[in-house]
Amino acid sequence: MKRFLVVFGMVAALVGFTAVSQAGATAELELISGGSFTTIPVTSSVTSFSQSFAGYSIGGTTMSLGSASLPIMDLSIAGGGTGAITVMFSESGFTYSGGLTFSASNTPIVGNPTLTAAVYWGPSLLSTANQIGSSLTLTGGLSSTSGNVNSTSAYSITEVFNVDPGAGSTVAFSADAAVTAPEPATLFLVSSGLAAGGLFGRFRKKKA
């Protein structure tokens, strides 16, 4: 916990913001598998979660360190199970207009799951009306894409992970996605370490 607080403080200082949720914004995390879904409330600028859902044990952290005029969002997840699952992290209230960078990575731990990641903006939470850049197929290492948002009214940003383990396969993975304007590197590298380290350690302990 001490290590997390030190790292988090460094990130907040580097990006030049106090880590508080933007006024008037709402955020939500949703897990989807087949026709089932569960919603996890996101109530602060840093929210950790741990959930058993649709054959998966999955945990992670959402981060919202930016403001309405400068989006900075991050989703770190680690877990394992069988069957396809989609993880969506969405936040509303953004007014920024311009370019955004989306970066994502995946570290397979058991099996070789197919992970894709994408980011969207739209008029409401969890909207996938407008894609920013292109979808990323994550095979290890860091992948990035970029695109523009041009909106005359407040909008949401939604990060999406799709996990496909393959027929009958059991998988475990650690993955991270960050959307930023204009600099992606600092937040992404820190949160990647959190996902690969503490979160999967907790997952392994739970499975033991």
Residue 36 β-bridge partners: 33
Question: For residue 183, what pLDDT band results from cuts at 50, 70 and 90?
Answer: low
pLDDT at 23: 40
20 pLDDT exceeds 60? no
Other Cβ atoms closer than 10 A to 130: 16
Question: For residue 16, what pLDDT band results from cuts at 50, 70 and 90?
Answer: very low
CA distance 156 to 60: 21
pLDDT digit string, tens, across residues 38-78: 999 888 889 999 999 888 889 999 998 888 999 999 999 99
Beta carbons of 39 and 29 less than 8 angstroms apart: yes
What tokens does 163 get? 């996990």
pLDDT digit string, tens, across residues 90-136: 999 999 999 999 999 998 888 888 899 999 999 999 999 999 999 99
7 pLDDT exceeds 50? no
Return all residues near 180 (Cβ < 8 A) that are at least 6 apart: 66, 71, 72, 73, 100, 101, 103, 187, 188
Chain-wide mean pLDDT for the chain? 79
Residue 53 β-bridge partners: 56
pLDDT, greater one: 10 or 156: 156
187 pLDDT exceeds 60? no
Return all residues near 93 (Cβ < 8 A) that are at least 6 apart: 22, 23, 24, 25, 26, 68, 154, 156
